Structure 1
Amino acid sequence: PVPCPPGSPAPRLPMALRICTLVCRSWGDRPQLCQVACAVGRAESPVRHGAALPQGLDSSLQQWGVVAPSQRQALATRLQEATEAAMAALLATEAELSPQQRGGTRAHTDVLGVDFLLGCVDDALELVALATNSQQCLETCVLAEAMGRSVGEPRGDLPRLLAEAMLHRAQCHLVEGKDILLIGAGGVSKSFVWEAARDYGLRVRSSGR
């Protein structure tokens, strides 16, 4: 938990902060946080997707009364860890399912949206995971990226990471069912080839030297 800073200016009205995150499956099945977008609203009514224009995490935390840079950075780090941990748990669960249970041989999750609510409990700021919502989180984060570009902010990693995820899926589809010739196979050092071939749906023909 991140302690609420003593003497920090509180917002004029009771406010709620909904944090929308988007995480992608990166190379090596590694979760990677792509984008964070926040919506600030009145505490007495739920802050829904599309109810307010998205804004950045740092400015939202300042508006919420978190003025110390170290505390904002600590919250950003905890948010990244929580989001990527949620994606890692989902990938681990999918890996244990059969192709039929997943919905097909190549069916798996490449992009995941996770919604959080920031609350103050016992004078400490707590992140509470609300739900996974890929479609609405994707729309919100893409809008936040576009708004940032329109005011001169540098390009973020979101377009690149989304493109990488889609291209990787397309490459897997192109090579699925193909035959490859592996020369000098058979040793323990080549074991990674068999694992990759299984994951990509390849048929391996070996030829010793």
Structure 2
Amino acid sequence: MTKVTDVVLNLIKIKGQKKEEAANTNERPPAKKQSPGELRLHKDIAELNLPKNTKVTFPNGKDDLMNIEVTLRPDEGYYVGGIFVFSFHVPHAYPHEPSKVRFITHPNIDLEGNVCLNILREDWKPVLNINTIIYGLNLLFIQPNHEDPLNHDAAVVLRDDPQKFQRDVQAAMLGGYVGQVYFPRCK
């Protein structure tokens, strides 16, 4: 009985040595262990079901999925015809923590680029994903919400004078000043 155990142990040892030799001959560095957040993000990206007006890119290449750029081209609402790029930084604790998303020129987006979307704050749940955030961002462009703004000035104009808000949006998208704030062209 002891001899069978010794043989099995030797076979396991030889198999391990062969794996090690094969790895050394390929001269590849050992694979980096992925965090649970990275594993979940791989799954979410594979399952993306984007609206036709949305594009996802990885500015640091496919090796860095934790940093994503999402480009929206609204096809209805105040922002129709605009091109809006958001940067997503996905934390390693994802999905237990929401992504950090930044941009500007919107009542629900402040001048520093912070996005006011309830699912990026108090309503975040691990069952939500990148796809949910992208649909939420699209909704902000179709139906801006003046009741929960980060950009209070834009929200007041939207609430009190929607036609002026429309003119301000168009002026901002063409590039130029709205009040004292300069907006780069996004059309």
Same fold, TM-score > 0.5, yes or no: no
> Is the strand fraction higher in 1 or 2?
1
The structure with the larger Rg is 2
Tell me which of the two structures has the higher relative contact order, counting C-alpha pairs closer than 8 angstroms and 6 or more residues apart.
1
TM-score, with structure 1 as normaliser: 0.22
